[in-house]
Amino acid sequence: MIELNQVVKRYGSKTILHDISFDVKLGEIVGFLGPNGAGKTTTMRLIAGFTTASSGTVSVAGHDMATEREEAARKIGYLPEQPPLYDVLDVTAYLTFVARARGVPAAKIRQDLDRVINACKLEAVTRREIYKLSKGYRQRVGLAQALLGEPEVLLLDEPTAGLDPGQIQETREVIRNFGRDHALLLSTHILPEVTLICQRVAIINHGRLLAVDTPEALQRAADQSDSVYLQASGERTALEQSLQAVDGLQGVRIEPLAARPGLYAIECSVQSTEGVEARIARAVNAAGDLHHLERRQPTLENIFLNYIRQAPPIAVDKEAA
């Protein structure tokens, strides 16, 4: 339903996307994961038809976005990062306007509105002007407009941005339900987003597609990205030997701390097991003195690096294409 083949996007002399290729099938939710500025929104805008590729092809529901954009647009529901809302309208009036613009038959508009209002839990605000709504409700209205007309393809750009935990949970449930009958591409920089609701994940950074694989594979890379950072004093060799005996430790890097002579900055790669920090603390105190310790959770950047070491992206992309 969505297919990108060797897509490149340039603005002037600057290349934003480099040779991007992946697909999304009907009934599948694919997470488009990367840090802010990685190229997610540019890719979503290409698929939605807001801009065109400099080279390569983008197709939606069998239509080439370079030559059949209008036909493809009828198949797409799109929620941009900033929902396209008209603040002076109330929710019902706005959704009615969007339904008419999308070509929903007049006899079916009421039924379609009821469907998306119920799905997005908007019953309490249907007659409220949009400018009076909270961030969470505005995001839900944006999602509702994307669902109007029963599109086959859904593009959701950071759909849970700015929502509180309860709203995020509700929005994820809506996305999961609609993913059963649509081809759904969900862009996010939040790791739990994709591990909870997506069948596959496309990982992008600096405009390059690094890999396409399952959330389980991504989680394995995340588990191997945990680290414990500490500062300690003592004899370097003794500290290193004591730490290397700790159960659950995968690697140790020790460097002198320039800002504090006599102290070492120590980075420990650890398995995601309970109690590893306490074991590290005991090992350090047995060989020296512990001054600081903190557990560092995985970042997207080091997950990318760990993932690439395990599975070269070219091989994964060919398999997923």
Report whether pLDDT(258) > 90. Answer: no
Please check whether residues 111 and 246 belong to one and the same domain: no
Provide the 10 A C-beta neighbour count for residue 186: 28
pLDDT digits (tens, 9 = 90+) for 235-251: 999 999 999 999 888 88
Give, in degrees to the nearest 5, the angle at Cα 224 between 195 and 222: 20
Q: Residue 79 is part of which domain span?
A: 2-222+312-320
Provide the 10 A C-beta neighbour count for residue 48: 23
* pLDDT for the residue numbered 196: 82
Please check whether residues 27 and 140 belong to one and the same domain: yes
Q: Is the dihedral of CA 138, 142, 147, 153 positive or negative?
A: negative
Please check whether residues 235 and 117 belong to one and the same domain: no
Q: Taking all residues of the chain, what is their mean pLDDT, rounded to a whole number? A: 87
Report whether pLDDT(261) > 60. Answer: yes
pLDDT digits (tens, 9 = 90+) for 170-215: 888 888 888 888 899 999 887 777 878 899 999 888 899 988 888 7
Is there a contact between 197 and 29 (Cβ–Cβ < 8 Å)?
Answer: yes
Please check whether residues 141 and 239 belong to one and the same domain: no
Q: What is the dihedral of CA 166, 185, 212, 42, to 10 degrees?
A: -110
- 234 in a structural domain: yes
pLDDT digits (tens, 9 = 90+) for 38-81: 899 999 999 999 999 999 999 999 999 999 999 999 999 999 98
Please check whether residues 173 and 113 belong to one and the same domain: yes
Share of the chain above pLDDT 70, in %: 89
- 139 in a structural domain: yes
- 302 in a structural domain: no
Please check whether residues 175 and 194 belong to one and the same domain: yes
* pLDDT for the residue numbered 313: 41
* pLDDT for the residue numbered 275: 85
Please check whether residues 24 and 74 belong to one and the same domain: yes
User: In total, how many domains does the chain have?
Assistant: 2
pLDDT digits (tens, 9 = 90+) for 270-296: 876 778 889 999 999 999 999 999 987
Please check whether residues 213 and 270 belong to one and the same domain: no
Please check whether residues 150 and 163 belong to one and the same domain: yes
